[in-house]
Amino acid sequence: MTDLLHTYQKLLNHYGPRNWWPAETPFEVVIGAILTQNTNWNNVEKAIANLRKGEALTLGAILNLPLETLEQLIRPSGFFRQKAERLQLFCRYLQEHHQGSLEHLFDRELNLVREELLQLKGIGPETADSILLYAGQRLSFVVDAYTYRLFGRLGILSGKEKYSAVRELFMSNLRQDVQLYNEYHALIVIHCKNFCRKKPLCDSCFFTEMCLYRQQNC
Ligand code: SF4
């Protein structure tokens, strides 16, 4: 589908490469992907800064911290009790099944790794695909609410598609390129933050000519 590539190119031309994910290590990407559920990235940054300051950004540290201490460190990310439990569950799983190594986890057939991630408590498709793409450099497109919003307004999605169908649409129509998947998702996020907000700033947006929403509402 040329529309998807055309949209990508327009986003890339405007914003340039985003070079995601904003993290220093793959392990930090995983932590961020779990913490970012149901909150904005500013809150995640505060939680990660607390973990860094508390020297708790390693698998061993997260496992050894008392749950209550971990909860307080990640408190800024919201749902902190639930997320602390999920962090420890993930780390324990990694230690028990993959020698504590993300490389070991990722170094298998993609669908196998993805299914394994999806079986972990608190890891849904968006989190699993974020982990696969940004921590594992694996070819797995990330779909989120911004994806539905932007491509719904552009007229490419109806909004009723399941996560798996949207992911498949992108993955079967784009070339198989981890860097492209990496940039595309990051570009969708920035465009929805800058222009295609809940209340969109259509007058300043560069998608004017190809946007169904704009044509129908302005
Ligand atoms: S023209 Fe408006 S609705 Fe369309 S993509 Fe731009 S901001 Fe979103």
Q: Are residues 37 and 96 in the same domain?
A: yes
Q: What is the pLDDT of residue 1?
A: 62
Q: Exposed, middle or buried, 145 (CB in 10 Å: 0-12/13-18/19+)?
A: exposed
Residue 218: what pLDDT? 74
Structure confidence at residue 162 (pLDDT): 98
Q: CATH number for the domain including 196? A: 1.10.1670.10
- Give CA–CA dist 176/63, Å, rounded: 36
Please write the tens of the pLDDT for every residue from 181-217. 999 999 999 999 999 999 999 999 999 889 999 999 9
For residues 184 and 176, the answer to whether their CB atoms sit within 8 Å is no
Pocket test residue of 146, 150, 189 for ligand 1, highest count of atoms within 8 A of CB? 150
Total domain count for the chain?
2
Distance CA 160, CA 32 (A): 28
Whether residue 157 sits in one domain with residue 69: no
- What's the pLDDT at 38? 93
Q: Domain limits at 110?
A: 26-135
User: Residue 209 has what pLDDT?
Assistant: 87
- Probe target for ligand 1 pocket from 194, 202, 206, 216, with the most ligand atoms within 8 Å of CB: 202
pLDDT in tens, 35-50: 999 999 999 999 999 9
Same-domain status, 148 and 194: yes
Q: 90-129 burial string, b = 16+ CB within 10 Å, else e?
A: bbebbeeebebebeebbeeeeeebbebbeebeebebbbbb
Whether residue 34 sits in one domain with residue 111: yes
Nearest to 182 by CA among 2, 3, 18: 18
pLDDT score, position 208 = 85
Boundary of a domain, candidates 93, 117, 135:
135
For the chain, which residues score pLDDT lower than 50?
none
pLDDT for res 2: 64
- Where does ligand 1 bind, in terms of residues with CB under 6 Å? 150, 153, 195-196, 200-202, 205, 207-208, 211, 213-214
